[in-house]
């Protein structure tokens, strides 16, 4: 069954104290082993700054299976923001966040990552036509995401890693990574995975 999953605070480890903690995916949580092979398939590290005047940063690492490939021509990944309603049909999607990677700042016409635009209560299934593919490279400079044959946080599996930066209005949101889904097992059954974001 193809689905989307909003992760909870129970799936996250908090590092540091004070106004700017770092949230890291808890690799002991089963939610990050998407194909039940006892290996971690999805990792994030979110650097929270505490308020809407500062930049938030999220580091991502995902296995090839999640984004449909190991080359820039095959792999694809989009981003979206929504409210944190439990039921998907209650969620509102937002496109007014300022989101970028260093590659987009230097190479994209509007210097930002365009988010997926979905109607109220819509799931990102099938893979949305709106929004920028965040895995990009122009063969001249470092890409927006980098492919590696072995990533320690993914238990040595091959995959993609990159960092996303954003600003937004105060509130509680899900930040979604949206990828192709068309199967019934492994990462291919997840159209999107959302992490909780709080902007004060």
Full DSSP string of the chain: --EEEE--GGGEEEES-SSS-EEEE-TTSGGG-TTSSSS--EEEEEE--SSTTS-EEEEEEEEHHHHT-SSTTT---EEEEE---SSGGG--EE--SEEE-HHHHHHSTTSSPPPP---TT----S--SSS--S----SSS--SSEEEEEEGGGTTEEEEEEEEEEE--SEEEEEEEE-----SSGGGGEEEEEEEEEE-
* Percent of all residues in the chain with a pLDDT value above 90, rounded to a whole number: 51
How high is the pLDDT of residue 1?
39
Cα atoms in the 13 Å half-sphere on the side-chain side of 46? 22
How high is the pLDDT of residue 188?
78
A 10 A CB-CB count for 142 gives 12
* Percent of all residues in the chain with a pLDDT value above 70, rounded to a whole number: 80
Give the tens place of pLDDT for each residue, 80-91. 999 999 888 999
The per-residue pLDDT of the chain, averaged, comes to 85
Average pLDDT of the residues in 68-90: 93
Local confidence band at 54 (pLDDT 50, 70, 90 cut-offs): confident
Does pLDDT of 107 surpass 50? yes
**Cα 164 to Cα 136: distance, rounded to the nearest angstrom:** 13
Does pLDDT of 116 surpass 80? yes
Does pLDDT of 73 surpass 90? yes
Give the tens place of pLDDT for each residue, 2-29. 455 655 555 666 666 666 667 777 676 6
**Cα 155 to Cα 93: distance, rounded to the nearest angstrom:** 33
Give the tens place of pLDDT for each residue, 130-173. 999 999 997 766 889 999 999 999 999 999 999 999 998 888 89
Q: Is-contact 78 104, C-beta < 8 A?
A: no
């Amino acid at each position: 069954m193809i689905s989307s999953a909003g992760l909870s605070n129970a799936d996250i480890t908090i590092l540091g104290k004070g106004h700017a903690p770092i949230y890291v995916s808890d690799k002991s949580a089963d939610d990050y082993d998407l194909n039940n092979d006892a290996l971690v398939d999805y990792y994030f590290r979110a650097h929270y700054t505490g308020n809407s005047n500062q930049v938030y940063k999220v580091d991502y690492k995902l296995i090839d299976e999640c984004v449909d490939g190991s080359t820039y021509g095959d792999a694809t990944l989009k981003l979206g923001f929504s409210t944190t309603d439990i039921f998907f049909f209650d969620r509102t999607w937002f496109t007014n966040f300022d989101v970028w990677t260093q590659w987009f700042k230097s190479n994209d016409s509007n210097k930002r990552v365009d988010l997926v635009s979905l109607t109220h209560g819509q799931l990102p299934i099938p893979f949305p036509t709106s929004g920028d593919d965040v895995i990009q490279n122009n063969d001249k400079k470092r890409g927006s995401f980098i492919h590696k044959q072995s990533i320690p946080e993914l238990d040595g599996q091959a995959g993609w890693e990159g960092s996303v930066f954003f600003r937004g209005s105060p509130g509680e949101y899900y930040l979604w990574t949206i990828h192709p889904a068309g199967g019934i097992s492994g990462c291919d059954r997840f159209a999107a995975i959302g992490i909780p974001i709080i902007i004060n």
